[in-house]
Amino acid sequence: MWKFDGQNTFFNIYNDKVLDVQGGRDQEGNNVQVWNRNRSKAQQWKLIYVDKAEKPKNKGFDKDFGLERNRPFYIVSKLTMERVVECWGANNLIISDLVQGRQG
């Protein structure tokens, strides 16, 4: 059974261990575990009710990534021929002449 302390910690009421990001590694898909309290950031959480959460934006400029959301773009080389970046096969990117509508 788990309790939220109203600030930033979820803890098990029987063993008093807390919810913790394994190894404090802030990586996509990293495991979450129970651990003894150590007051690190890995054990601190925000509880945000869905009805109060900001809705994810799917339009407009994303400051974190420096790009417009959901707006297709070309990547054009600054070399003389100003070729564009294109997928080649499953795993490669190449530069090639622009043929509008073809580049993937």
Partner 1 sequence: MFKNEKGTILQVAHHLDHESYPIGHNVKDGLFSEFDVVYADEMEAEPKKGDFNDHFGMHIERPFFVVSALSSERYLDILGRNMVIKTPNGRTSQQWYFDQKSRTIKSMYRKNWSWDIAGSGKSNNMHAWNTNSKWW
Q: What is the binding site for partner 1 (CB under 8 A)? A: 1-6, 8, 10, 12-15, 19, 21-22, 24, 26-35, 41-42, 44-51, 53, 56
DSSP secondary structure letter of residue 104 = -
Strand, helix or coil at 38? Answer: coil
Tell me the Cα Rg of the chain: 23
Nearest-angstrom CA–CA distance, 10 and 3: 6
Contact 78, 85 (CB under 8 A): no
Nearer to partner 1, 19 or 84 (CB): 19
Nearer to partner 1, 14 or 80 (CB): 14
Nearer to partner 1, 33 or 70 (CB): 33
| Minimum CB–partner distance for residue 99 and partner 1 (Å) | 34
| Minimum CB–partner distance for residue 23 and partner 1 (Å) | 11
Nearest-angstrom CA–CA distance, 43 and 23: 11
